[in-house]
Amino acid sequence: MEHVLVTGAEGMLGTVLVEELSSHCTVTCVDVAEFDITDAELCERAILSAAPAVVINCAAYANVDGAEADAERAYAVNGVGAGNVAKAAAAAGARVVQISTEYVFDGSKSEPYEIDDEPNPLNVYGASKLAGERAVMDSGARWLIVRTSWLYGHHGPNFVETIIRLAKERGALTVVDDQFGAPTNARDLSALIRELVDGHAEGIVHATNSGSTSWFGFAKAIVEAAGLSDVPVDPVGSEGFPRPAGRPRNSVLSLARLRELIGWEPRPWLAAAQEYIAER
């Protein structure tokens, strides 16, 4: 593999992606302290200087509820910032990989979302990530957009850690049971991204662990794997757990194009989650 520059390299995905790539190629790591993607001139200077063959943009404003009150920042990072990175990659003759989200969809579809389904985000976060996708497409760079869902990993706050903490603190949980998606281990996603980059994939690809569940089903699996199966987990509808940002009822992404490109099926979400919890 060629020289790769990873933005957001100290985040939940960026950290494990750098680990995944480092045994295969030269990796340049940058994070917000020295590389603010909202600064177009800085982006171009840094990427031209590094001269990578591939730029993977993991930098993001990822606080879904916080984005409702801080839309300007969310759009600056997820929209304009993604475009800045892609334009700088184009100037350097590099391919760009943009990490995106299932939240570009509204969740009204009953089947898994295909790569060419029309986006219609319900919240500011999803809309800002969609703006980033479009900025990347218009950048002049060769691009790959990787949409993923329900991501968790060892290097950042996530649903798994929240459920384990609350189970211990409260002794009982109530979790939404009418929103469905594919929980995705950041380490597994990193391996999928490496395969896609190795294969020079372009266009839009959906990449998650296989299978799907509800947040309630995910929480039940978490407490069981964490040895907390005596903690009761009760289901509740979305209306019983209001949040600042609307959530899609169906976040399941079709993996048809991913399987076509890499030739294999990602492992089931349950096995990936159980491994994560065993490693804590």
Catalytic residue, chosen from 75, 103, 113, 125, is 125
Q: Rg of the Cα trace of the chain? A: 18
β-bridge pairing 54-57 and 143-148: unpaired
CB-CB contact of 99 with 81 (8 Å):
no
Q: Is 152 a catalytic residue?
A: no
CA distance linking residue 224 with residue 226, whole number of Å: 5
Catalytic residue set: 125
